[in-house]
Structure 1
Amino acid sequence: MLSLGLMLLLGGIVAYMRAKGWMIALAAFVGALIGGCYWLALLPLVVGLVFCLPVVQNIYMPKVFSMFKKVTPPMSETEQEAINAGTVWWDGELFSGKPDYQKLLNYPNPQLTAEEQAFIDGPVEVLCNMLNDWQINHELKDLPQEAWDFIKEQGFLGMIVKKQYGGLEFSNYAHAKVVTKIATRCGSAAVTVMVPNSLGPGELLQHYGTDAQKDYYLPRLAKGVDIPCFALTSPSAGSDAGGIPDFGVVTRGSYIDPRTGERHEDVLGVRVSWEKRWITLAPVATVLGLAFKMYDPDGLLGEKKDIGITCALVPAEYEGVNIGRRHWPSGSAFMNGPTWGADVFIPLDWIIGGVAYAGRGWQMLVECLSVGRCISLPANSVAGGLATSYTTSLYSRIRDQFGLPIGKFEGVDEALARIISNTYQMEASQDLALTGLDIGEKPSVISAMLKYHNTERLRKVLNDAMDIHGGRTVVQGPRNYLVAAYQAIPIAITVEGANILTRSLMIFGQGAIRSHPYVLREMMAATNNDASAFNQAFTKHVHFVMTNIVRSFWLSLTNGCLSSSPRKGVVAPYYKQMNRLAANFALLTDMCMFSLGGSLKFREKLSARLGDVASNLYICSAVLKRFERDGSPKSDEAVMQYAAQQALYDAQVAMDGVLKNLPNRPIAWILRVLTMPAGHNIDAPSDKLGSKVANEMMKGDEALNRLTRFMFKPQDEQDPIGVLAPAHAAVLAAEAAEKKVRKLERDNQLSAASPALRLQEALDSAFITQQEYDLIVRSRQLKRQVVMVDDFDMQLEQHDDKLLERHVF
């Protein structure tokens, strides 16, 4: 028993440090010898020879390689392109089971240039002041013309276009913050700005366009002369972009170029038919980016008949192009609609990148989408979180019930803490991804995490905010600053890959292959029938699994408390628990792939939960990075702790779900011992911590201002959001005087019938001073303005602008 213990101890210590295989075997061999059991020492020696000695490997590896090729599921061309899209970045560290946190801390902090900051402080601020969400969504059903003109003139549609073509050439971080600030004021305007700067003609042209296409279109896109849209989604192929039915057949034909009026005879082109829906900006677009499947049955371009998905640019005024009808997105009025055409002939030079890029559309789309998913929808979600955190924090302190601010009730502070934590997580997660983009990465797996988790967190944020505001936000009208976002959240949940698909198929399905240190290498070796490359990858993979077994068990047994952290102090426990969960996740990943093989891709619930583990590890690391980037402020400690603890807890819950539902029960039992030997020892954030978060934010000062620094905050007290800050300040200023009046009322020293008359009585009786009286009057006036809801005429058309004057008490 002593020999076995020493063998496992010494071998385990060396394995924990991920030493080479022969060193692990040697340490175990020495341990057994020290214990005096010589026959037991043969075990690590044999194992070491089997896995470390090339001569021995050559005996069994051909059979392993043959078996691997049989069980490895074939990948379609679209799956292969999706897997190859983008780059592996911080997600690779998370899949490694032993993240290098120094890399995380060494990543540069995202910053705005002076030009970018000036744009946000100038044109973005001006634009936000032009926008009225109620007017846009319910009266104009469009942006006002002055806003459209300003957007075009100031280059909002060309933020990603390089300066040589007249664009702003902003960083990805600046691009996201511009969208965020606009979205805190008006979602329809934010979508209008974000789409031309996300997946669409501009992005595709810059990466793949011919020089002639760039020279013509990019200056026009940058200045708003052309308004682009990108037609991808079809009625029968939503998230399955690779399954679009729209097609084009290579043929010869004639056409009139609407840009020049010139007629071209007998040219080689494509006759395309399409029906698209849900195309943002399509009703007002001047140039249509069109995705379709291209076929060459007559071999006019070569031997290949099925060329594949192709992207082309088609002028919207071109004969046969149909636009101009609109969809009506829930809670919004941005331009969105269908486009269709039948047998529309387009020349080959309208293909983005020319004929050389025919059939490469899917590759182009997935590569650009991996970038766009990090920016547009996550920025919109961050904006919703910022606006909701700001309004709900102040409202919770202004609004009172039973003589107390509603934020002092534990049920409210619990919901407010969740709002703040989710918002902190959302922005931290996006900012880390934007850092990657701006240093040249294209983190496709992380972009899928962001798309799903930010939009889902916004849904939770809005639900909690609606509960806290209660009747204040269930009545529609200009004063309701939450309902438009609440109604519109299904849009973000649905577009750019429905969230159900993103969570259950993409995050882990792509990450397990793309971000795992060895799986893709093994699969490529099998595809290429490269036995040597497979041997190298497989041997390292076995070592990876064995060391993760040791690391996972030890870190789980101690909950990571004995592991190292790159920083001391308040953040250290979270880094240590991440060490534990990262090792658990790496082991779970390999064991699920081992026990389920190719069928894992069809086990969507398991895949979703594994993706949740990885995603929450990413979120926690982003939270810690954000806290340090901000200078580790004392007033942010509680929200950082809450956000980090919640992410870790959610990862643990997801991991438990995997173990409960893994079909191979013996492996599941063994994995539970290795990953959760002490059960659920990561707790959810405590009630006390949640109250700290809520109380800090209800102060309305440093912490809330830092959280909402990229939010547009109206200065007009007549604005339903603009009134919150002065009302909050007035309530705090009048707090002592209000307490004095309430005490007088309790002591029956004031006998007037109404609150206003009792206040006057207190002044007349010299119980309070004129200054106290004035403070209370202003506080109550502004508080009334905050809590009032809109009313209309019987036709629900004419809003009553005088409702604040109907004050009978």
Structure 2
Amino acid sequence: MLKFDPDLELFRDNFRRFLAENIAPHYETWEKQGLMPREVWNALGENGFLCVDLPEEYGGYGVPTHYSLMLVEESARAGFGALSTAISCHSEIAAPYILHIANEEQKQYWLPRMVTGEVIGAIGMTEPGAGSDLQSMRTSAILDGDHYVLNGSKTFISNGQHADLVVLAAKTDPQARAKGVSLLLVDTHLDGFKKGTNLDKIGLHSQDTSELFFDNVKVPKNQLLGQAGQGFAYLMQELPRERTAIAATALGAIRGSIDVAVAYVNERQAFGQAISKFQNTRFVLAQAKIDEQATAAFYYECVERYMAGEMDVETAAALKAFSTDMQMKVADNLLQLFGGYGYMTEYPISRFFVDARIQRIYGGTNEIMKEIVARGILGR
């Protein structure tokens, strides 16, 4: 269990105040519009809430990783699942790839601007015909002199509409499978790079999610991330951080679901008394709290393991599957306490419910997570 840290709690309070002042008054409008404005990223950067665990030489605070993950968790707890996912994709996924794999010139070029919000990061893995099966991707980047010529497409890309930088997985050797995958740092302003329309989803409405298209995009050779042909290994190396961040969203959402449910059952009257007096209500809330504590215990253990460099792929997969299954279960059970009102979008519990569903899909489906865990048990 992470020890109490007064500096972290002060940082948490500051972020909660930022959410109350800058996000809460506008979030419903953004959800209806289907997109958060670009200015949100500028505000996050100006207030020091992006990539906070990056070393100081790249503009970050150099704080422990759990400071950064806290921002993901608190966004989700406040009911802002789209913001949680957006920050996670930028700070917990895209930035660590650059920090851990990029050369010094690439780090100096991209990371300070990701801290300020000048550059928004995304990760480009999923394709229309290749979801969790990353080895089947078809997007190619063929070396031609000083450039890679990039062709293909990606789909379901979080932060896709606003992205200035995409950490992109592509086949630099189309004849190979895993050994043919490389990672490129792709500037979205290059000729031939096209962003599709913002995709319409059942949840996370204001979190921009896009298709990306590449038509003979010339990516400078010096924007290869790491070594050619090592992309799949890099993905496996960095996925534990992504899956831990997904768990942070899950834990925050579980806690947020409980917050809104407790407020509702204490206020709602039925048969002459608050519905919090009924045994079923109390048992449902008690089980939600038990599930929250179990999720938190597993999550905090994994965060400590990650920061100690001891987080393995199997444990990260188990955490992702367990926490997101719990998130869905808790949201569903608590929504039932609201009766018909739980199905109305004006009640926050409905958003916790629909936003939870994607968590069991992205970052690798929970079925794939179980396969990873099984391989760890069986050795194959």
TM-score by length of 1: 0.45
Alignment of 1:446-595 (within 5 A): 446-477=315-346, 480-503=347-370, 505-513=371-379
CA distance in structure 2 between the aligned counterparts of 1:365 and 1:145, rounded to whole angstroms: 28
1:6-25 superposed Cα distances (whole Å, 9 cap, x missing partner): xxxxxxxxxxxxxxxxxxxx
User: Among residues 4, 22, 30, which one is paired with 1:130 in the alignment?
Assistant: 22
The equivalences for 1:66-85 within 5 A come to: none
List per-residue Cα deviations over 1:541-570 (Å, max 9, x = no partner).
xxxxxxxxxxxxxxxxxxxxxxxxxxxxxx
Does the CA contact (< 8 Å) of 2:192 and 2:215 recur in 1?
yes
Are 1:279 and 2:157 counterparts? yes
Q: Is the 8 A contact 1:116 1:170 kept in 2?
A: no
The amino acid that maps onto 2:242 is G
Tell me the SS of whatever aligns to 1:337. Answer: strand
Is 1:366 the counterpart of 2:258 in the alignment? no
Deviation at 1:113, TM superposition (A): 4.8
2:368 aligned partner, one-letter code: L
| TM-aligned CA deviation for residue 114 of structure 1 | 4.7
Partner of 1:350: 223
Range 323-332 or range 179-188, more displaced: 323-332
Q: CA deviation at 1:203?
A: 0.9
CA contact (8 A) 1:278 1:336 kept: yes
The answer as to whether partners of 1:294 and 1:307 remain within 8 angstroms in 2 is no
Report the equivalent of 2:202: 330
Q: SS in structure 1 opposite 2:358?
A: helix
Q: Of residues 202, 213, 238 in structure 1, which corresponds to 2:106?
A: 213
Q: CA deviation at 1:425?
A: 1.3
Listed as ranges, the matches of 1:699-778 within 5 Å are none
Return the letter of the residue paired with 2:21: N
Q: Is 1:229 aligned with 2:122?
A: yes
Aligned pairs for 1:24-43 (under 5 A) are none
Cα offsets for 1:612-631 (capped at 9, x unmatched): xxxxxxxxxxxxxxxxxxxx
Deviations 1:189-209 (A, max 9, x none): 111211111222x11111111
Check the 8 A contact 1:160/1:203 in 2, yes or no.
Answer: no
Tell me the alpha carbon deviations over residues 735-754 of structure 1, each in whole angstroms, 9 at most, x when there is no partner: xxxxxxxxxxxxxxxxxxxx
CA distance in 2, matches of 1:247, 1:281: 22
2-side partners of 1:427 and 1:291: how far apart? 32
User: Which residue in 2 is equivalent to 1:270?
Assistant: 148
8 Å contact kept, 1:239–1:501:
yes
Paired residue type of 2:361: T
Contact 1:287 1:314 in 2 (8 A): yes
Partners of 1:461 and 1:335 in 2: how far apart? 26
1:388 aligns with 2:260: no
Identity rate, percent: 20
Name the CA shift for 1:401/1:345 in 2 (closer, same or farther; >3 Å).
same
Post-superposition offset of 1:148: 3.2
Q: Which residue of 2 aligns with 1:40?
A: none
Distance 1:451 1:325, change over 3 A: same
SS at the partner of 2:54? Answer: coil
**Would the alpha carbon gap of residues 305 and 401 (structure 1) be closer, same or farther in structure 2, given more than 3 Å must change?**
closer
Secondary structure of the residue aligned to 2:28 is helix
Amino acid paired to 1:176: L
Check conservation: 1:155, 1:222, Cα contact below 8 A: yes
- Are residues 113 and 423 of structure 1, via their aligned partners in 2, closer, same or farther at CA, if it must alter by over 3 Å? closer
* Alignment RMSD (CA, Å): 2.2
| Post-superposition offset of 1:280 | 0.7
Give 3-state SS (helix, strand or coil) of 2:122's partner.
strand
Higher relative contact order (CA 8 A, sep 6+): 2
Matches of 1:464 and 1:127, distance apart in 2: 27
Aligned to 1:431: 300
For 1:234 and 1:431, how far apart are their aligned partners in 2? Answer: 32
2: CA distance between counterparts of 1:394 and 1:346? 52
More helix by share: 1
Instruction: Kindly indicate whether the alpha-carbon contact (under 8 Å) linking 1:229 and 1:279 is maintained by their aligned counterparts in 2.
Output: yes
Q: How many equivalent residue pairs? A: 376
After superposition, the Cα gap between the structure-2 partners of 1:241 and 1:411, relative to the gap in structure 1 and judged at 3 Å, is same
**Contact 2:196–2:213 (Cα < 8 Å) also in 1:** no
Contact 2:243 2:319 in 1 (8 A): yes
Amino acid in the other structure paired with 2:238: C
Cα offset, 1:229, TM superposition: 1.0
1:340 counterpart SS class: strand
1:161 maps to which of 33, 54, 57: 54
* Code of the aligned partner of 1:345: K
1:555-610 superposed Cα distances (whole Å, 9 cap, x missing partner): xxxxxxxxxxxxxxxxxxxxxxxxxxxxxxxxxxxxxxxxxxxxxx6xxxxxxxxx
1:623-702 alignment, distance < 5 Å: none
How many angstroms does 1:276 deviate by?
0.2
Aligned with 1:215: secondary structure? helix
Distance in 1, Cα, partners of 2:284 & 2:31:
28
1:239 to 132, 142, 151: 132
Measure how far apart 1:121 and its partner are: 1.4
Structure 2 residues without counterparts, runs of 5 or longer: none
- Cα distance, 1:123–1:408 mapped onto 2, change above 3 Å: closer
Name the CA shift for 1:296/1:149 in 2 (closer, same or farther; >3 Å).
closer
SS at match of 1:199: helix
CA contact (8 A) 2:178 2:232 kept: no
1:180–1:379 Cα contact (<8 Å) kept: yes
Question: Using a 3 Å threshold, how does the CA distance of structure 1 residues 331 and 507 change in structure 2: closer, same or farther?
Answer: same
Q: 1:385 touches 1:461 (CA, 8 Å); kept in 2?
A: yes
Superposed displacement of residue 173, structure 1: 1.9
Residues 211-250 of structure 1, C-alpha deviations (whole Å, 9 max, x = no match): 1111111111111111111111001010111221112222
Structure 1 residues 151, 305: closer, same or farther in 2, change over 3 A? closer
* Secondary structure of residue in 1 paired with 2:118: coil
Q: How does 1:107-126 map to 2 (within 5 A)?
A: 109-111=1-3, 113-126=5-18
- Alpha-carbon deviation of 1:177? 1.7
The alpha-carbon distance between structure 1 residues 305 and 364, as it changes in their structure 2 partners (threshold 3 A), is closer
CA distance in 2, matches of 1:497, 1:116: 30
Secondary structure (helix, strand or coil) at the match of 2:314 reads helix
Q: Structure 1: how far apart are the matches of 2:4 and 2:54?
A: 17
Q: Secondary structure at the match of 1:238?
A: coil
The structure that has the greater radius of gyration is 1
SS in 1 for 2:193: coil
Task: Give the TM-score of the pair, scaled to structure 2.
Answer: 0.92
SS at match of 2:293: helix
What does residue 691 of structure 1 align with? none
Matching residue's letter, 1:308: G
Following TM superposition, by how much is the alpha carbon of 1:307 offset from its aligned partner in structure 2, in angstroms?
5.5
Contact 2:140–2:174 (Cα < 8 Å) also in 1: no
1:412 alignment partner in structure 2: 281
Instruction: Give the CA deviation at 1:144.
Output: 5.1
**Aligned-partner Cα distance in 2 for 1:240–1:199:** 19
Per the alignment, residue 150 of structure 1 pairs with: 43
Distance across 1 between alignment mates of 2:303 and 2:328: 22
Q: Distance in 1 between matches of 2:326 and 2:239?
A: 21
SS at 2:194 equivalent: coil
Question: Which residue is equivalent to 1:795?
Answer: none
- 1:162 Cα offset (Å): 1.4
Counterparts of 1:306 and 1:393 in 2: how far apart (Å)?
Answer: 48
After superposition, the Cα gap between the structure-2 partners of 1:408 and 1:127, relative to the gap in structure 1 and judged at 3 Å, is closer
Q: Which has the higher strand share?
A: 2
CA contact 2:184–2:224 (8 Å) conserved in 1:
yes
Q: CA deviation at 1:329?
A: 2.8
SS at match of 1:283: coil
CA contact (8 A) 1:127 1:147 kept: no
